[in-house]
């Protein structure tokens, strides 16, 4: 056993971190990890394992998805506290110095018994995690390491080291608790765990010690037979096992010093797997063993495993070899993603590796450099468009098995089928990615699908639109030849009205569907990122391929996603900006029909011949900009009126009345880029007629307001007028293309007109940026829009980090101004010196329970209805508490509840209701809702998200603790 | 402190039970409860509290429903193991004999530190539960008791007793962990517990020590403000509190001997409430304190509570008084349900009380003896039928506020409105009941609604049809005047085709709806209990009111439920008896419309004028019998062909091909009762025309087969013919009434013809019973129907307990035969001598994992397709494992999966598939499905259900351990 405890640390109990070498491999160590609040770690595998471990030792694990789990898939807070009943458990009866002592490493309740130190180690690759407890009284160290093997599953390697100078005899009871049987449905792992126990059937194959964890029959509520023919399995190597237990029923007996009896079959209760042995460990030596668990094994595979255990003497070598293979495969993947850096600063290289690792886990990796497997390309074309496939079958059939992507393009292009060209340009041969959905962020269920049913490598990806393009942006640094494919994928997924669908998968786009019965179902468009994500991809292309964008600009090989959402008219938006998107059920049905008939291209806008309607890249770049300008409030930002908050869910309360300066800052960068791109264009360009008209209307609105803001401050009336003019342009365009479900055809557009519009837009943006500089030298991130009759007022909010990140990148500042902003940021209350880090927004003093929801007496007195109700003892709207404070009913969650309550009171109070309702709504907004304009605090989850965001957006958090980033489950 | 430890038990650690007296109240004690496997206890309240506690100390609690919880509502297995992080936690630093020792009562991980004994006490009323741990080393006893108060919520009374003869000083840190904030949605308590933590905001009102647990804003995925203005609260009395903690973050510090610091506000983490004090306990004395928690308090209520805590010196007396009030109210409810027995055998009386208690909790209790509150009666009539209400408004308006039920009948009857009479006869002024849905049986969500929004007492009930009539049957022993109302409620809920809807509530009937997207949604009818439940109610009426049934027999004041299920034709049933019930969506919509227009009576069959179609009691008694006879397999039982298993879900695999002898045994009792009832009838009776025809067709089928079975054994062909004849009669009837959605009118029927049919039916039933006596003197409970072309074979199963219960009650046996059966039962493997109890069915030896799914080599060889596939290495149907065993694919759960797989193979193997499919299906049935004809074992939940079933059906389990029954959460 390599000595992990250096003499000077022994007994020291401060948390510290360092890089160490174990068995020839570099690990990052966190010493005295039990002094930290529990945190969560994702242990990585090159295969389809998922393994999320708490720093307490609690864990959940399985393969592919949570539906095929080894341990229950439960929320992270419960993983932290699960150590007493789930996962590894070690009981050691130590005979030393003539008497016997019980030691349970990692059992926090044993704290008072012995002087112990607990350390945690994670290897550089991120696929091994070692827990270590050193018992200073008994002079023993126990250590176990989680590893993965594609062939054998999950390997827990254990080591018991004798640190003393005398031999020691130890009775070992070591194992895993709460092992799920194969086929336990996810719901039964969490919500009905007690019910599924009745189906559990655990067997021991006594000759080999192989534990077999099954459901005796499938868990089903249907009245039909439902067999369950797969098993999860566990076996042990390395110990002279005396007894094997299949449950935790004898742990107390072992603790009390009794002998345990072997358990050959257990049913109707949770399964465990424990091996019992008695070992003698010489001074300075150690005893090693391992437990190996796998999931969802067919009978044939279990028979094969049993046979192997009977016959193979060197099974441990075979297992070790399979673990090495997994290491090697992961290293190859990470090398292909440029994950390895060499640096004198090991933490910097490790930090980089961790960033690339998690980026690759989400967005995936190109399977074979620039090579495309013809089989997958064919399948992809057929999946998207069966007609295109059919008419190009000869060409497609002639492709070699593996073909370089540029070669593929050069074969496809001369063929002259623009539709095939489109499919080729947006093709991405990506594998290994999966949605997050670990137990700290369970909302996006993951499935690690690496092989098809015949064991062939699968090319597959899936992710939320906002996440996956962020991941791909980073990935294209390693695969620059694919940048334009990512751009094509991006713009082909955007809609006629300038927004993006919810999800991108290998199979195409996906949107959310309204389910009337589900209060959690909701539709809408996030408004942010359409500009900045695209902008960063465009800049990348420009850097790597300075001429390529200009080439694509005029080529009609891009398309529109046909999401069946319909944004309401400007009048409706102004009327109720929180309820603005309609789900078009009839269109959704037509789309479904088209997909069934011809493939996933049925989700795109088609032309009159049923072919996908294709446009130039320039048009695709203009539409999102025009969409943003259609919601532009001069001096305020971009109006958030599509039912969704921005990236940060804490902005929920801004939906409808928020203004994003963040988006405006990024628009500046985008506008400048387009100006540059178009500067050398002189030929007219093809635009769809409706887009061209929209462009014209927008241009004239911007042109007419320019002299106004140049001359001096803009009035609320002027602001409203400009918003209305821009909004009507967008609204007219939307109505035209919604009506046609497409466009009327193409017209020629002079680049000059576009450049003029961009110039006016830039002036309006720069003006708006300049008035959003705060007295503290920071910039507003979001504002509040207060619409009156013919007026648009702007209220400001406290500053937020993302506003500063965005304005720094906007290009609007001089270097000096940027430095001043950075200084201001460090001086602001966004900065947390103790963490040497920034928060999303300042940690404000929030009102307590009694301070919320207070109505000034004068306000109550001013509303006769309230006085009457209070006199009548009717507290359905307002009550007066024992200390004389007036408060709205505790049933009210928002103004909608007040409106409902007022309706219910109509029979009793009639006209008085109408007279009071506006004042009541105002009082409610003031007294109740103001506290939730911003939620008090984001979860850790979200804060973690911040780092990802910042890193992706260029404000490198160089001071971030590498240990935290590296260990984080992210 | 009353001394709970007698000298002789001290140190003894065997489990034992006894009745003891604590503070003047009788308790049942389980000594050394920690030596038992964890079990679950429901602590009862007369108010809307729910409190489910594990014998480990883990718990979940709240008021009304799981949506308003104090501690997370999680499955029972997780409640057992939650003690380390949820609910009560006590840390005691004991200074004795010059040094300090840490004692954590009820912490099982502290086992090895001290010699301790743990005892559990539950009071007779069932609303107090006391946990006690005695530390023999420290000579201290710690005890806490859960109690409820309507005014104050949940009270945990604590007592620390010094058993030694020297004083002791103890630093106490006592409290509750993982207290939910008000308004935590159920889903967020279980599936997304980590996400809800971010919303948590816990405050301390420092002057009073009141802990306030809130969400800073509502948990919602919608992009709109969502305030949360209610609080869960905790406070302490009885200690000189030094510090209050709002989290568990300082527990380790306290353990380590440090002072803790008061926590005034905690956010973003789980809330706890701990009080810290230092107490000196004199020899033989004790220190008492209590923690009081309540949920969902408005700001006004919290202000009131705070004020009370500031001012009231005698708050403890107030709390004690409110607890006494709860006791008193519960005792009154239980007295009204005849729950109290006086007996020299205290366990018998307690057992009786527990039975009545749980019966009352489910089925409810009549609110005020035989008195009806006119307000509720009016509301009920209006709810069911607005026309009937309107035309009787004068009469209804003239009722006194409270009226005796018989008086009400005598006022309604002369009025001559048969519809009002029907609503009056089925009216049940019941309160206090709720569906089960405790965390061991979470499938029926409960809501304890005792008061309306204005605090008025609510009359309300709800339950599954099968459960609630069982509860009401027992309840009517105490309220015999309501027996006929229960009968009316029963028969008015049965359908034209002779079945019953899923659920009965105060608002009317409910059925399950198919949801195409939800694999768990399913519709169908349970076939059992329609006979026996009704039979027992009829017998009760006959005993209490010997003439009343005869009076009702001819009165057309009963109706048919109009459940939108349609049972398929006999031909279809024979074709696929597992897929037999169709949901009629159009009808469901019509019904919804009718309910909206005129009230809940819209769920009933109407006549051509839109009035509820009313028939006599006799007709309502005949229809279910005819429905059963329509599925009668001579010598086999009643065919289970309506998609549902019987009461016992273990019978799932019998759906479609099972035959219930259980139902047939009960039918015998029912037929005899009808014979008796009709024996004195001579006048013709009114029957609906279609029922009369059905009766005639059924009678002729029974008449024609009688000579055949009298002559000797019946052949499979004869059996099929009779089944067909009876089935066609039922099928013709169903099709006629489905077509009309009702009946053609009434005809006169002679009682003689009915009696003749009953006589023939009895003969056929008796014949069938006689051939189902087994060689071991037990009787078959269920058989298997094997349908061939024109033949009906019967296969037998192992015996089951319910078959014996049913046959004993059938009246078919002599006393001697009954004794013989009872002896046989004790000799059988259904009997478990160690528990002195019976199991549902014998604990059979079941095949292990490797023994399941083996296909004999000869069978494989006989199917050329398999040979071809195996040679081609195609294991999509069958594979050969490493030991040479042939097995079906592990993907197959049932024959449906095989069929799907064969379809998928069609392109590759074409005609060979058809040639092989029948043989393959047979092999699958043999090798795979046979093991699941019966599930291996029911859960404890189900076994517990057995007792309820047996008790309700007359086989009193007199030997059952009272402790278990009494403590059971049931």
* DSSP codes, B653-692: GGTTTEEEHHHHHHHHHHHHHHHHHHTT--S-EEEEHHHH
Q: Which two tokens stand for residue A661?
A: 């300066």
B113, B217, B227, B855: best to mutate for the A interface, most A CBs within 10 A:
B227
Question: Tell me: the pLDDT tens digits for B639-687?
Answer: 999 998 777 666 777 889 899 999 999 999 999 999 999 998 888 999 9
Question: Tell me: the pLDDT tens digits for A441-453?
Answer: 777 788 898 887 7
Question: Tell me: the pLDDT tens digits for B841-851?
Answer: 887 778 899 99
Q: Which of A225, A890, A892 sits opposite B929 (nearest CB)?
A: A225
Residue of A nearest to B84 (CA): A81
pLDDT of A8 reads 39
Q: What percent of chain A has pLDDT over 70?
A: 92
- Return the higher-pLDDT residue of B847 and B604: B604
Assess whether pLDDT exceeds 50 at residue B471: yes
CB atoms within 10 A of CB B324: 12
| pLDDT band at residue B587 under the 50/70/90 scheme | very high
**Measuring CA to CA, how many Å separate B182 from each of A284, A897, B67, B301?**
56, 18, 9, 13
Q: Which of A440, A442, A893 sits opposite B227 (nearest CB)?
A: A893
Q: Mean pLDDT across the stretch B955-960? A: 31
Cα separation, B576 vs A409, in Å, equals 55
Check A214 against B442: CB less than 8 A apart.
no
pLDDT of B939 reads 30
Q: Which two tokens stand for residue A625?
A: 């900009």
- Return the higher-pLDDT residue of B926 and B129: B129
- Return the higher-pLDDT residue of B832 and B716: B716
Chain B residue numbers touching A522 (CB-CB < 8 A):
221-223
* Helices marked H in A273-345: 299-311, 315-336
| pLDDT band at residue B278 under the 50/70/90 scheme | very high
Distance from CA of B76 to the nearest CA of A (A): 6
Residue of A nearest to B86 (CA): A81
Q: Which two tokens stand for residue A734?
A: 């939307």
Element spanning A481, H or E: none
Check B849 against A896: CB less than 8 A apart.
no
Cα separation, A676 vs A674, in Å, equals 5
Q: Which of B81, B519, B932 sits opposite A227 (nearest CB)?
A: B932
Q: What is the dihedral of CA A420, A422, A424, A429, to 10 degrees?
A: -140
Distance from CA of A713 to the nearest CA of B (A): 32
Check A645 against B221: CB less than 8 A apart.
no
Residues 6+ positions from B803 with CB-CB distance below 8 Å: B661, B662, B665, B778, B779, B780, B781, B782
Distance from CA of B475 to the nearest CA of A (A): 30
CB A449 within 8 A of CB A460: yes
Closest CA to A800 of A835, A765, A769, A831: A831
Chain B residue numbers touching A107 (CB-CB < 8 A):
109
Cα separation, A71 vs A178, in Å, equals 7
Residues 6+ positions from A589 with CB-CB distance below 8 Å: none
Q: What are phi and psi of A794, to 5 degrees?
A: -125, 125
pLDDT of A963 reads 39
Distance from CA of B371 to the nearest CA of A (A): 31
pLDDT of B606 reads 97
Check B197 against A939: CB less than 8 A apart.
yes
Q: Which of A78, A875, A880 sits opposite B193 (nearest CB)?
A: A78
| pLDDT band at residue B954 under the 50/70/90 scheme | very low
Check A77 against B203: CB less than 8 A apart.
no
pLDDT of B219 reads 78
Assess whether pLDDT exceeds 90 at residue B366: yes
Closest CA to A494 of A584, A558, A586: A558
Chain A residue numbers touching B889 (CB-CB < 8 A):
298
Question: Tell me: the pLDDT tens digits for A882-912?
Answer: 999 999 999 888 888 888 898 888 888 888 8
Q: Which two tokens stand for residue B327?
A: 């006791």
Q: Mean pLDDT across the stretch B473-499? A: 97
Q: How many CB pairs under 8 A join A and B?
A: 295
Chain B residue numbers touching A580 (CB-CB < 8 A):
none
Cα separation, B450 vs B433, in Å, equals 9
Distance from CA of B404 to the nearest CA of A (A): 33
Q: Which of A201, A229, A939 sits opposite B892 (nearest CB)?
A: A229
The residues of chain A scoring below 70 in pLDDT are: 1-11, 110-112, 220-225, 516-521, 648-650, 927-970
Q: Are strands B40-43 and A503-505 parallel, antiparallel or unpaired?
A: unpaired
**How buried is B410 (Cβ within 10 angstroms: 0-12 exposed, 13-18 middle, 19+ buried)?**
exposed
Assess whether pLDDT exceeds 90 at residue B285: yes
Q: Which of B107, B298, B889 sits opposite A109 (nearest CB)?
A: B107
Check A198 against B937: CB less than 8 A apart.
yes
pLDDT of A221 reads 63
pLDDT of A305 reads 97
Residues 6+ positions from A695 with CB-CB distance below 8 Å: A622, A626, A687, A749, A753, A754, A757
Check A197 against B881: CB less than 8 A apart.
no
Assess whether pLDDT exceeds 70 at residue B942: no
**Average pLDDT score over chain B:** 90
- Return the higher-pLDDT residue of B893 and A380: A380
Residue corresponding to tokens 């039928």: B385
Q: Which of A191, A252, A853 sits opposite B229 (nearest CB)?
A: A853
Strand ranges inside B415-459, DSSP E? 430-431
Q: Which two tokens stand for residue A908?
A: 């009793």
The interface predicted TM-score of the complex, written ipTM, equals 0.87
The number of C-alpha atoms within 13 Å of A385 and in the hemisphere containing its C-beta is 22
pLDDT of B5 reads 42
B78, B94, B194, B846: best to mutate for the A interface, most A CBs within 10 A:
B194
Residue of A nearest to B224 (CA): A653
Residue of A nearest to B300 (CA): A881
């Amino acid at each position: 056993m390599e000595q992990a405890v250096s003499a000077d640390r022994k007994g020291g109990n401060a948390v510290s971190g360092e890089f160490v070498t174990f068995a020839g491999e570099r690990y990052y160590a966190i010493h005295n990890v039990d002094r930290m609040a529990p945190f969560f770690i994702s242990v990585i595998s090159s295969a389809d394992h998922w393994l999320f471990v708490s720093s307490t030792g609690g864990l959940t694990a399985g393969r592919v998805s949570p539906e095929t789990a080894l341990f229950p898939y439960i929320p992270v807070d419960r993983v932290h506290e699960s150590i007493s009943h789930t996962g590894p458990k070690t009981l050691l009866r130590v005979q030393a110095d003539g008497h016997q002592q019980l030691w349970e490493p990692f059992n926090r309740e044993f704290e008072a018994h012995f002087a112990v130190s607990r350390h945690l180690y994670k290897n550089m690759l991120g696929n091994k995690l070692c827990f270590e407890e050193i018992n200073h009284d008994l002079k023993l160290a126990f250590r176990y390491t989680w590893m993965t093997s594609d062939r054998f599953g999950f390997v827990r390697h254990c080591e018991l080291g004798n640190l003393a100078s005398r031999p020691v005899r130890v009775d070992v009871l070591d194992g895993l608790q709460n092992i799920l049987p194969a086929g336990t449905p996810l719901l039964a792992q969490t919500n009905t765990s007690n019910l599924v126990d009745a189906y559990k059937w655990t067997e021991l194959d006594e000759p080999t010690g192989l534990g077999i964890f099954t459901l005796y029959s499938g868990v089903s509520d249907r009245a039909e037979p439902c067999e369950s023919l797969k098993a999860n399995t566990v076996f042990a190597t390395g110990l002279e096992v005396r007894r094997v237990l299949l449950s935790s029923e004898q742990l107390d007996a072992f603790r009390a010093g009794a002998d345990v009896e072997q358990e050959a079959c257990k049913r109707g209760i949770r399964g465990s797997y424990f091996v019992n042995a008695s070992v003698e460990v010489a001074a300075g030596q150690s005893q090693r063993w391992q437990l190996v668990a796998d999931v969802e094994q067919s009978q044939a595979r279990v028979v094969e495993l049993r046979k192997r255990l009977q016959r193979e003497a060197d099974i441990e070598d075979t297992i070790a070899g399979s673990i090495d293979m997994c290491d090697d495969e992961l290293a190859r993947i990470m090398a292909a993603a440029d994950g390895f850096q060499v640096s004198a600063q090991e933490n910097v290289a490790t930090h980089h590796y961790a960033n690339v690792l998690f980026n690759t886990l989400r967005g995936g990796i190109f399977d074979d450099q620039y090579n495309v497997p013809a089989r997958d390309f064919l399948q992809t074309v057929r999946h998207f468009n069966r007609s295109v496939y059919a008419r190009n079958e000869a060409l497609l059939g002639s492709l070699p098995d593996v073909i370089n992507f540029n070669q593929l393009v050069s074969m496809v292009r001369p063929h002259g089928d623009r539709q095939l060209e489109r499919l080729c340009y947006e093709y991405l041969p990506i594998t290994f990615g999966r949605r997050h959905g670990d137990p700290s962020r369970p909302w996006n269920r993951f499935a690690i699908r690496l092989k098809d049913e015949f064991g062939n490598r699968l090319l597959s990806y899936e992710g939320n639109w906002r996440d996956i393009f962020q991941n791909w942006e980073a990935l294209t640094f390693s695969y620059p030849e694919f940048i334009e494919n990512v751009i094509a994928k991006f713009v082909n997924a955007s809609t006629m009205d300038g927004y993006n669908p919810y999800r991108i998968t290998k199979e195409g786009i996906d949107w959310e569907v309204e389910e009337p019965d589900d209060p959690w179902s909701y539709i809408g468009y996030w408004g942010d990122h359409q500009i900045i994500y695209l902008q960063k991809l465009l800049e990348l292309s420009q850097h790597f391929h300075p001429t390529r964008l200009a080439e694509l600009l005029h080529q009609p090989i891009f398309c529109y996603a046909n999401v069946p959402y319909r944004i309401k008219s400007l009048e409706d938006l102004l009327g109720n900006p929180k309820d603005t998107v309609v789900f078009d059920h009839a269109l959704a049905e037509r789309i479904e029909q088209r997909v069934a008939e011809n493939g996933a291209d049925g989700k795109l806008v088609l032309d009159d011949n049923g072919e996908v309607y294709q446009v130039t890249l320039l048009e695709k770049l203009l539409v999102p900009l025009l969409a943003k300008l259609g919601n532009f409030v001069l001096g305020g930002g971009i109006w958030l009126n599509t039912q969704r908050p921005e990236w940060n869910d804490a902005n929920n309360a801004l939906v409808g009345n928020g203004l994003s300066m963040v988006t405006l800052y990024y628009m500046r960068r985008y506008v400048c880029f387009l100006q540059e791109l178009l500067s050398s264009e002189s030929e007219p360009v093809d635009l769809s007629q409706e887009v061209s008209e929209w462009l014209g209307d927008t241009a004239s609105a911007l042109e007419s307001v320019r002299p106004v803001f140049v001359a001096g401050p803009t009035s609320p009336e002027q602001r409203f007028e400009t918003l209305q003019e821009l909004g009507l342009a967008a609204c007219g365009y939307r109505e035209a293309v919604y009506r046609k479900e497409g466009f009327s055809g193409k017209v020629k557009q002079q680049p000059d007109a576009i450049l003029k519009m961009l110039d006016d837009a830039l002036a309006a943006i720069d003006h708006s940026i300049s008035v959003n500089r705060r007295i503290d030298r920071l910039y507003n991130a979001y504002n509040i829009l207060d619409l009156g009759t013919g007026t648009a007022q702007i209220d400001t909010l406290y500053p937020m980090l993302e506003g500063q990140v965005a304005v720094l990148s906007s290009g609007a500042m001089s270097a000096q101004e940027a430095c001043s902003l950075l200084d201001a940021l460090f001086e602001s209350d966004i900065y947390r010196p103790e963490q040497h880090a920034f928060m999303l927004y300042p940690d404000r003093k929030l009102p307590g329970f009694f301070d919320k929801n207070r109505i000034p007496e004068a306000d109550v007195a001013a509303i006769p209805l309230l006085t009457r109700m209070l006199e009548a003892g009717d507290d359905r709207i307002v009550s007066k508490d024992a200390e004389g404070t007036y408060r709205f009913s505790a049933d009210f969650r928002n103004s909608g509840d007040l409106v409902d309550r007022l309706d219910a009171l109509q029979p009793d109070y009639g006209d008085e209701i109408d007279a009071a309702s506006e004042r009541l709504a105002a009082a409610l907004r003031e007294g109740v809702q103001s506290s939730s304009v911003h939620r008090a605090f984001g979860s850790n989850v979200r804060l973690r998200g911040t780092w990802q965001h910042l890193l992706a957006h260029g404000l490198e958090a160089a001071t971030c603790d590498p240990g935290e980033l590296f260990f984080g489950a992210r």
